[in-house]
Amino acid sequence: QKERTVAYVRTFLRQPDEDFSPEENEVRQVVAEFLKNVEDQKPENSDSDYFSQRELEWKKQDHNSKIQWENKKEIERKSGDQEFIQLCQRIMSDAMEVTRVCVDVQDKQRQNLLKHVKSALSNDVQSHKLWQMLIMQVTHERAIWHDKEFFPTSWQLDRTEGPCRVRCRLQRCHLDIDEKFFIPEYKKTQTNIIPLSYLFDEPVGEPSSKNVYHIFNTTDTICFLYRCKSIMPSRKVPGEILIGEKRVYFVGEESDTNVNTAQFFLDDEDITSISWLFQEIREILRRRYALKDNALEIFLTNGRTFLLAFETTKDRETVYKELLGKELPNLITTTENVADLTQRWQNGELTNFAYLTELNKQSCRSFNDLMQYPVFPLVLAEYKCDVLDLTDVSVYRDLSKPIAVQNPKRVPKYQETYRSLQEQYDISKKLDPMNCIPPYHYGSHYSNSGTVLHFLVRLVPFTKMFLTYQDKQFDVPDRTFHAIETTWNLSSFASAPDVKELIPEFFFLPEFLLNSEGFDFGIRQNGERVMDVRLPSWACSDPRLFTLIHRQALESDVVSCRINKWIDLVFGFKQEGQAAIDAINVFHPSTYVGGIDENRLHDPVQRKAVQTMIETYGQTPARLFSEPHPDKKRIGLDHYSSWSGTFGDTDYSLKTPIERTQRGLLHVDIPSPVTTVYGIKWGQYIGSPAYAKPVVCWSDSFPTPVARLVSFPHSNLFILPPNSTHVIVTRTRNRTMHIVWSAVLSWSHVDDIIRIWDTKKGTMIGFKENMNFHKITCCAVSDQCKSLWVGSSTGCFHVWQTRYDRNNECGLEVLGRRIRLQGHEASITCVEISEAFSIVVTGSEDGTAIIWDLNRLCYIRSLSGHSSSVSVVCISPTSGDIVTVCHTGNNTSELRLWSVNGRLIKKIVCQETITCATFSRAAEGVSVNAVAAGLVNGVVRLWNTWTLEHIADIKDEACQLPIVSLEYSHTSLHLFTVDSHGTVRAWGRSERAYKPRILSSIH
């Protein structure tokens, strides 16, 4: 060991001095002196070789020891690191657990706070909603707190759709239009606020809170959210669609400052946020918006529709699949394709109006988008004659040609326009292929927002939209829509830029032709003030008569044989390509999908210009047919009246005159309902002048009194005892109705309990106790059991929202609180519900009838002028027209016919007492329907619904007992009557064996 130490010291001393500090070198000197003093004691083997060998051995030993030491230290380090990691993990785990507990506690507190806030706001909103309903119920014109200063007297179009998607109802509104736009005598003195409006000045009434109105008024849990825009006729509202467990919501992101509090609490449908239940969804259809396949339109069972546009097609599809994944009990899953619709139209199952409505729907046309508004043909070309012959081909436009080239002299002009633009296009394509525009015949379009507003300028809310469109002013008086004849002249030959086709309202909505609000459209150059639209003389200055005749013209045999040619132009193969060029039917490229590719334009100015063109020029409907549209099959003479004439190169004239036969066709010796029009189709229904004389084809007697008959499709018939009404739930699959549940609801029992009798189980179950302590006078249940209406002797109506529940003992479940509707001043005598038009009409001993809104459960208007109690009310299932009956003394009755909007059409006095009434159900346009009334002498008397002129009497000579109820079958080919002795008869065209299926009988 000594030798080893000396060897190490010598090695230490041999190192260069510069490797050490001065202090260290001093130490080295001391060691060297010490070593020199002891050097006399040398080891025995002190030669250099010996020491060199020993040094190598020592180095090796040292190296091995160092490795062992390092290995040991590495093991110790790893062990320490592992312990440290485990310690850190334990600390992290403990910290995470502490954090989780803290977060859970905090989240629970936050949730409690949010629930408290939501509950408070929900209660606040619910309170405001109840106040809203209460104010609406007690301040309308028949209520106890009515104030003319606050109650709205103006009317706007209600966007609720009826049969064939017609929107013919009006709703009350406050006009938010400057006084300068009214004729002096029409200027309003009302304020645009509602009574007790200060109740809504709190935050819930603020516009920013309106957007969350529906969200905070529910306990629903939101599961899905996506960005989109709600497209409405007046504006586009960006926001979000939210899908919960029970409802779908749209919440606009911007406060709606354009909607005042009054309109909001009048339930204006333009509110930026809205919600609907899953069971309210009837259809969900893919749509286009701004020529992009990126939108959805949702159709509800109450007749309302909503158009939502998304950023991309992928976003739309995501929402579409999410909605279809929900339980939608009323969703129509078997939507007809175009081929099925065409086949039904060819077979005469669809009228021309219904078929065109469906084609518009299939081609993405929507009432919610003015740029894609449904388009209908301008069919008539004759507006000067005093008598219109609908069998004369010459009174119609040529449907095989666009409206702009009805006059052959205009053809060269448009062809030259196309040729000139083609030359420019060929040159531009070589110089700048990215910015060249393909040629076209027309720089304008037959349907766009300007066209729609031009026609609907007299109808609120389109008046305000028109003012916005026209920079806050009406158009020049001579350009304002003022005459039907002028519209034809401008579109067909007088004005090159004017190529307008029509909108659906020309065939069912007379109100848009009237300047009911007194807007000041100015005075034309000829000194004539622009007021109501000037009608052709054959319409007798009657807008309603004009729409009825116009609808008949659309359904005429001439149009039926040629409408397929117009479909080729608008929806078919003549939209684009060489066929469109040959037909002179090419419009500006910005009106077609892919006509101008925005994505290829890098210049933002050009992109903006293209977007503006898409938003203003118009949009061509989606193409539905790639081949020529087939002709309509020649339907048998039962379907059409006789007519003759030629059109184009086809001869459609009947070769032999038709004589009046037992089959009762429309002939020249059958009078027209109006003297100014020839060729009107009376249609097929019992009692029609164009139909066979009716005979009794089935009868049966019941020992217990029968009070009412109610018919359903497929010959189903309810036979009801006094003080009862029908309850029925149906589902439709493949256009076939299936009855899910049927029952009879009865009242006036000794214990005053409303009961339900299940027709299948044959059991009677107590449903609801009468807690009002007033006598129940009548009841009605809406279709699909959505609501129960109970009338009382006090003149009040009590309404409960209900639904069918198969697990419920009585089958009917009451939802929510009772709603009390006040308006009548005496006992309720009768009630009629029209699900098709979403209205309820009630009659009373006070001599008035009231129209109520079935969706909003609120007052609409009164039908007054009756000299005594209103004993009968009924509603047309095809037009919405209303009949009321009152007795005038001396066993006579007065029958009044009203439009769906409460305009009195005509009244007549019947010399016999009318005990009941109903409407025939034949399709509008191909028929002149009838009002059928049962008389006290056993006669059924019919009047036409156009002019209330008498048509016919139907009577069984063997019976002179009072008719207590009558009802047409759904096809109108049978008429059911029941007399006071309980004998039910079915009237048909022949004595061929027939028996209806009785859903309920007297028990």
pLDDT digits (tens, 9 = 90+) for 240-276: 999 988 889 898 875 544 444 444 444 454 456 788 8
Q: With residue 93 as reference, give the H or E element that holds it.
A: helix 48-139
| Cis preceding linkage at 604, omega within 30 | no
Sorted by sequence, the CB contacts under 8 Å of residue 938 that are 6+ apart come out as 955, 956, 959, 960, 961, 962, 963, 979
Q: What is the full DSSP assignment across 342-395?
A: HHHHHTTSS-HHHHHHHHHHHTT--TT-GGG---B---B---S-SSEETT-GGG
- Sign of dihedral through CA atoms 166, 168, 170, 176? positive
Which residue in 689, 386, 657, 648 sits closest to 536, CA to CA?
386
Residue 562: pLDDT band (50, 70, 90) is very high
Measure the CA–CA gap between 446 and 402, rounded to whole angstroms.
9
Measure the CA–CA gap between 847 and 824, rounded to whole angstroms.
9
Question: Exposure string (b/e) for 642-671, b if CB count within 10 Å is 16 or more?
Answer: ebebebeeeebeeeeeeeeeeebbbeeeee
* Highest mean predicted confidence (pLDDT) among 115-129, 621-635, 819-833: 819-833
> Which 3 state secondary structure label does DSSP give 204?
helix
- Regarding predicted confidence, which is higher, 471 or 1003? 471
**pLDDT score for 367:** 97
Enumerate the domain spans of the chain: 1-36, 211-335, 367-615, 685-1000
CATH fold of the domain at 367-615? Neurobeachin; Chain: A, domain 1 (1.10.1540)
Are 882 and 841 a contacting pair, CB within 8 Å? yes
Sheet holding 858-863, edge to edge: 828-834, 839-844, 849-853, 858-863
- Render pLDDT for 940-957 as a digit per residue (tens, 0 to 9): 999 999 999 999 999 998
Indicate whether 843 pLDDT > 90: yes
- Cα-Cα end-to-end distance for the chain: 128
Backbone angles phi, psi at 579, to 5 degrees: -65, -40
Helices (H), 502-591: 543-554, 557-570, 577-582
Are 657 and 643 a contacting pair, CB within 8 Å? no
What integer is the mean pLDDT of 893-907?
97
Q: With residue 605 as reference, give the H or E element that holds it.
A: helix 604-616
Are 260 and 192 a contacting pair, CB within 8 Å? yes
Query: From the CB of residue 412, how many other CB atoms can be counted at a distance below 10 Å?
Result: 10
**pLDDT score for 643:** 31
Which residue in 179, 188, 183 sits closest to 151, CA to CA?
188
Q: Which CATH class is domain 685-1000?
A: mainly beta
**pLDDT score for 224:** 86
Q: Which of 495-504, 506-515, 607-616, 965-974 has the lowest mean pLDDT?
A: 607-616
**pLDDT score for 629:** 97
> Which 3 state secondary structure label does DSSP give 944?
strand
Give the position of tokens 């190598």. Answer: 56
Indicate whether 900 pLDDT > 50: yes
Backbone angles phi, psi at 496, to 5 degrees: -65, -45
**pLDDT score for 131:** 81
**Do 211-335 and 367-615 agree at the fold level?**
no
Measure the CA–CA gap between 252 and 232, rounded to whole angstroms.
12
> Which 3 state secondary structure label does DSSP give 495?
coil
Measure the CA–CA gap between 477 and 868, rounded to whole angstroms.
47
**pLDDT score for 599:** 67
**pLDDT score for 634:** 67
Helices (H), 155-288: 207-210, 261-265
Which residue in 319, 316, 284, 318 sits closest to 300, CA to CA?
284
Report, in this order, helix, strand and coil percent for the chain, each rounded to 5: 30, 25, 45
Measure the CA–CA gap between 161 and 201, rounded to whole angstroms.
33
**pLDDT score for 636:** 44
Helices and strands per DSSP (H, E), number in the chain: 16, 40
What integer is the mean pLDDT of 319-326?
94
Q: Which of 9-18, 56-65, 507-516, 682-691 has the lowest mean pLDDT?
A: 9-18
Sorted by sequence, the CB contacts under 8 Å of residue 897 that are 6+ apart come out as 881, 882, 883, 904, 905, 906, 907, 931, 945, 948
CB-side exposure of 600: number of CA atoms within 13 Å? Answer: 10
Share of the chain above pLDDT 90, in %: 60
Are 963 and 913 a contacting pair, CB within 8 Å? no
Q: With residue 340 as reference, give the H or E element that holds it.
A: helix 338-346
Indicate whether 216 pLDDT > 60: no
- Render pLDDT for 363-384 as a digit per residue (tens, 0 to 9): 999 999 999 999 999 999 999 9
For the entire predicted model, the pTM comes to 0.85
The Cα angle at residue 449 between residues 446 and 453, in degrees rounded to 5 = 100
- Which pair of tokens denotes residue 597? 């590719």
Q: Which of 187-191, 713-717, 995-999 has the lowest mean pLDDT?
A: 187-191
Helices (H), 617-662: none
**pLDDT score for 59:** 77
Indicate whether 488 pLDDT > 50: yes
CATH number of 211-335: 2.30.29.30
Are 926 and 974 a contacting pair, CB within 8 Å? no
Measure the CA–CA gap between 582 and 648, rounded to whole angstroms.
17
Q: What is the dihedral of CA 196, 201, 203, 206, to 10 degrees?
A: 110
Helices (H), 499-572: 543-554, 557-570
Measure the CA–CA gap between 709 and 723, rounded to whole angstroms.
13
**pLDDT score for 254:** 59
Which residue in 882, 892, 880, 951 sits closest to 917, CA to CA?
882
Sorted by sequence, the CB contacts under 8 Å of residue 796 that are 6+ apart come out as 772, 774, 820, 821, 822, 824, 828
- Render pLDDT for 668-681 as a digit per residue (tens, 0 to 9): 357 899 999 999 99
For the chain, how many residues are written?
A: 1003
- Which pair of tokens denotes residue 316? 């739309």
Q: Which residues on neighbouring strands pair with residue 534, listed in sequence order? A: 483
